[in-house]
């Protein structure tokens, strides 16, 4: 399989994965040949790209950190939790369902033996908040596993990630989605959301105190310049420091009303540049060695102008993956092969 961005899709390409809309309805089956209508649909739903199968990429396997069906169910459950909270559904929010879903996500991540994680997310964007919450949970758990968190800490971390923006339920949608700079008063109101979310979780639910505190601290900075309480360094829970970085990583790699998605490599550079300032250096170190900035299945242009597909990542050396040349099919391990030591990746095509 390989990843092809939506604007490069051509009728007749064979889909390597099922495509669903945000409510879980299947739009196109795996193995189907794409029609012009399918491509219009994919573009209409704002999907950044899809995996396709072809001769060149038939031996490339894409393994996601969490099974797609687990992720989809998590999005639906988080969505329903928020809908019940906002009164869109006339039932009390069900925290047991959220806890069950968190356990499924943590189990999937713990059973995944991949050393470097592939995090291209093929999703539609019309329910950003819920997809974002679940994806932040997955990224947080991946970092948490690498930092040897206990099962209990991992569960707290993913629960907090799923609910981290719960305080935004009390902020008007016009303010939340404003495609402009906020006024100082509006920004103050927005900055209340960790505190409002924390108070609400404490009052209405029986999540652990660590979950509630992680939600409260998810906009605090490592250097104490965040909000709402300007807590810093090790006084912040490790789960909060991980959630901060995962939240930023996912928000920046996703298309939003006010920005196009940044490449994983650009986001990692941003996060590394703010290590010790916004982000805990220990968290940044783990991300910088374990998150795939050249995800498997993506096309790249090498510094010698050859066109290649990433076939594997090398743990600890995320800048030096193993690639397959498009014209000859030759495999080059940029980490270890002698012929490739002076070849770099010039461009990621996404
Ligand atoms: Fe937030």
Q: 0.85 cut: is pTM over it?
A: yes
Rounded to the nearest whole angstrom, what is the distance from the C-alpha of residue 11 to the centroid of ligand 1? 40
Q: What is the pLDDT of residues 262-277, one digit of tens each?
A: 888 899 999 999 999 9
Rounded to the nearest whole angstrom, what is the distance from the C-alpha of residue 127 to the centroid of ligand 1? 16
Rounded to the nearest whole angstrom, what is the distance from the C-alpha of residue 218 to the centroid of ligand 1? 7
Separation between Cα atoms, residue 267 and residue 218, nearest integer Å: 18
Rounded to the nearest whole angstrom, what is the distance from the C-alpha of residue 307 to the centroid of ligand 1? 39
Rounded to the nearest whole angstrom, what is the distance from the C-alpha of residue 91 to the centroid of ligand 1? 25
Rounded to the nearest whole angstrom, what is the distance from the C-alpha of residue 200 to the centroid of ligand 1? 15
Rounded to the nearest whole angstrom, what is the distance from the C-alpha of residue 193 to the centroid of ligand 1? 7
Rounded to the nearest whole angstrom, what is the distance from the C-alpha of residue 195 to the centroid of ligand 1? 10
Strands 322-325 vs 307-312: parallel, antiparallel or unpaired: antiparallel
pLDDT at residue 52 greater than cutoff 80: yes
Residue 121: per-residue pLDDT: 58
Instruction: Please state at what angle helix 68-86 crosses helix 95-110, rounded to 10 degrees.
Output: 160
Rounded to the nearest whole angstrom, what is the distance from the C-alpha of residue 156 to the centroid of ligand 1? 17
Q: What is the pLDDT of residues 188-241, one digit of tens each?
A: 999 999 999 999 999 999 999 999 999 999 999 999 999 999 999 999 999 999
Contacts of 164 (CB under 8 A, 6+ apart): 133, 136, 194, 197, 214, 215, 218, 243, 247
Instruction: Scan for tokens 């932040």, then name that residue.
Output: 136
Residue 5: strand pairing partners: 49
Rounded to the nearest whole angstrom, what is the distance from the C-alpha of residue 230 to the centroid of ligand 1? 15
Rounded to the nearest whole angstrom, what is the distance from the C-alpha of residue 304 to the centroid of ligand 1? 43
CA 306 to chain centre: 29
Rounded to the nearest whole angstrom, what is the distance from the C-alpha of residue 133 to the centroid of ligand 1? 10
Q: What is the pLDDT of residues 2-19, one digit of tens each?
A: 989 888 999 999 998 888
Share of the chain above pLDDT 70, in %: 94
Rounded to the nearest whole angstrom, what is the distance from the C-alpha of residue 242 to the centroid of ligand 1? 13
């Amino acid at each position: 399989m390989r990843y092809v961005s939506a604007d490069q899709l051509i009728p007749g390409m064979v889909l390597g994965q099922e495509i669903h809309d945000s409510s879980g309805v299947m739009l196109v089956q795996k193995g189907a040949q794409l029609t012009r209508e399918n491509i219009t649909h994919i573009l209409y739903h704002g999907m950044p790209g899809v995996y396709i199968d072809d001769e060149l990429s038939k031996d490339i396997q894409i393994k996601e950190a969490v099974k797609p069906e687990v992720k989809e169910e998590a999005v639906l459950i988080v969505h329903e939790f928020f809908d019940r909270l906002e009164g869109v559904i006339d039932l009390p929010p069900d925290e047991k369902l959220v806890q069950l879903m968190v356990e499924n996500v943590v189990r999937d991540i713990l059973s995944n033996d991949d050393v470097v994680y592939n995090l291209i997310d093929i999703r539609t964007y019309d329910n950003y908040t819920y997809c974002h919450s679940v994806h932040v949970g997955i990224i947080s758990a991946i970092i948490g596993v690498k930092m040897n968190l206990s099962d209990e800490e991992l569960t707290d971390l993913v629960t907090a990630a799923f609910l981290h923006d719960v305080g935004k339920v009390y902020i008007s949608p016009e303010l939340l989605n404003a495609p402009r700079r906020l006024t100082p008063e509006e920004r103050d109101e927005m900055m209340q959301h960790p505190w409002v979310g924390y108070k609400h979780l404490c009052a209405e639910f029986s999540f652990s105190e660590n979950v509630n505190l992680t939600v409260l601290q998810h906009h605090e900075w490592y250097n104490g310049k965040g909000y709402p309480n300007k807590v810093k360094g090790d006084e912040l829970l490790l789960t909060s420091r991980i959630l901060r970085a995962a939240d930023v990583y996912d928000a920046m790699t996703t298309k939003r009303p006010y920005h196009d998605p940044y490449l994983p490599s650009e986001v990692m550079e941003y996060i590394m540049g703010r290590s010790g300032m916004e982000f805990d250096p220990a968290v940044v170190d783990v991300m910088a060695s374990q998150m795939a900035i050249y995800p498997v299945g993506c096309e790249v242009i090498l510094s010698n102008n050859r066109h290649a597909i990433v076939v594997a990542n090398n743990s600890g050396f995320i800048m030096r993956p193993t690639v397959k040349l498009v014209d000859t099919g030759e495999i080059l391990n940029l980490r270890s092969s002698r012929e490739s030591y002076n070849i770099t990746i010039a461009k990621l095509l996404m």
